[in-house]
Amino acid sequence: MSQVIRLGLVGLGKIARDQHLPAIAAHPDLELVAVASRNACAEGLPYFADLEAMLREGPAIDAVILCQPPQARYAAARTALLAGKHVFLEKPPGATVTEVEALIALAKAQGVSLFASWHSRYAAGVAAAKAWLAANPPRHIQINWKEDVRHWHPGQTWIWQAGGFGVFDPGINALSILTEIVDEPVRLVRAHLTTPSNCQAPIAATLAMQTASDQPIDAEFDFRQTGPQSWDIIVQSDARRLVLGHGGNVLTIDGVAQTCDSEAEYPLMYAHFAQLVRAGQSDVDLAPLRLVADAFLCGEPYSTEAFHD
């Protein structure tokens, strides 16, 4: 491999423009050399309608970054791995657990790196929260993850289709933090999924979970939140209380705001990805995706009024 890791990015949409392009540009060992997107092109770079064309006709690349919706992730990842490329998966890493397991096996067989990114795990307060929980065992965890879908996901029809996750698209970020900071397995006990009559994926969900040592965890996900938005995890440990707010970027312990580094989720993920590639390793944790899959498996379905963007 060349000194610099040459990247081809697939799915030039909101998250690719907002986060991936600046994070790649800021990393000295990474260079974006091509883009594959059906309806978009990045200025000054070779662009292709799809990944196959980029691999066939484009400049040499070492790794492929997949930023499309989850329904398209598996086929593209498989193509990239079969072509011998390292792969960076946006979250969620796939539409099903088994397809990601197949990708893990394929990456191993191909001798390339596979990274299932969970950006919220890199939020500024998460490492300190994890250390606090190790010293202060949680007695109850409450997750409130409520946002206005019309503001954050305008026109994203894929999110409402099967495999698009609905409110679990942001909710899985909370579950990725949860499964990072709690140092024991978490299982789903019960779920209620509320789905608009004209959609295939839920607009709201409540989850009851438990740690392996039987401590309760409750989560409320809602896409209908107007006004203040909530991306908060509240941990009660006997008389002590931790609040991880703003998607993991603000930390308060016993009412006292803690000093955190500034937000750098995507730069930190790209630094990790570069290390994985250099070391010939993979990093794929399925725990957040399993909890979502379990919620879809055993959740009680409720129908609600039709949703119009």
Rule CB under 6 A: choose which of 9, 37, 235, 277 binds ligand NAP.
37
Span interacting with ligand NAP, options 6-14, 78-86, 128-136, 284-292, rule CB under 6 A: 6-14
* Beta bridge partners of residue 219, listed in sequence order: 143, 207
Binding mask 16-35 for ligand NAP (x = CB under 6 A): x-------------------
Answer yes or no whether residue 229 interacts with ligand NAP by CB under 6 A: no
Span interacting with ligand NAP, options 25-33, 70-78, 134-142, 299-307, rule CB under 6 A: 70-78
Starting at the edge strand that comes first in sequence, how are the strands of the sheet with 86-89 ordered? 47-48, 30-36, 5-10, 63-66, 86-89, 114-116
Query: According to DSSP H, which parts of the chain are helical?
Result: 14-15, 21-26, 51-57, 73-82, 97-110, 126-135, 149-152, 168-181, 265-279, 287-298
**Residue closer to ligand NAP (CB basis): 27 or 91:** 91
Sign of CA dihedral 100, 102, 103, 107: positive
Q: How far is the CB of 168 from ligand NAP (least distance, A)?
A: 10
* Distance, CA of 274 to CA of 2 (rounded, Å): 13
Answer yes or no whether residue 93 interacts with ligand NAP by CB under 6 A: no
Span interacting with ligand NAP, options 25-33, 66-74, 124-132, 286-294, rule CB under 6 A: 66-74
Answer yes or no whether residue 78 interacts with ligand NAP by CB under 6 A: no
What part of residues 139-168 is at the interface with ligand NAP (CB under 6 A)? 156, 158
Q: How far is the CB of 50 from ligand NAP (least distance, A)?
A: 8
Span interacting with ligand NAP, options 62-70, 126-134, 198-206, 210-218, rule CB under 6 A: 62-70
Sign of CA dihedral 193, 196, 197, 198: negative
Binding mask 38-57 for ligand NAP (x = CB under 6 A): xxx-----------------
Using only C-alpha atoms, the chain has a radius of gyration, in whole angstroms, of 19
The token pair at 46 is 């070779």
Residue 146 known to be catalytic = no
The catalytic position among 14, 85, 91, 108 is 91
Q: Are 88 and 117 in contact (CB under 8 A)?
A: yes
Sign of CA dihedral 150, 152, 157, 159: negative
* Distance, CA of 28 to CA of 30 (rounded, Å): 6
Answer yes or no whether residue 70 interacts with ligand NAP by CB under 6 A: yes
Answer yes or no whether residue 14 interacts with ligand NAP by CB under 6 A: yes
As to burial, measured by CB atoms within 10 angstroms (0-12 exposed, 13-18 middle, 19+ buried), residue 297 is: exposed
Residues forming the active site: 91
Could you list the residues that contact ligand NAP (CB under 6 A)? 11-16, 37-40, 67-72, 90-91, 119, 156, 158, 169
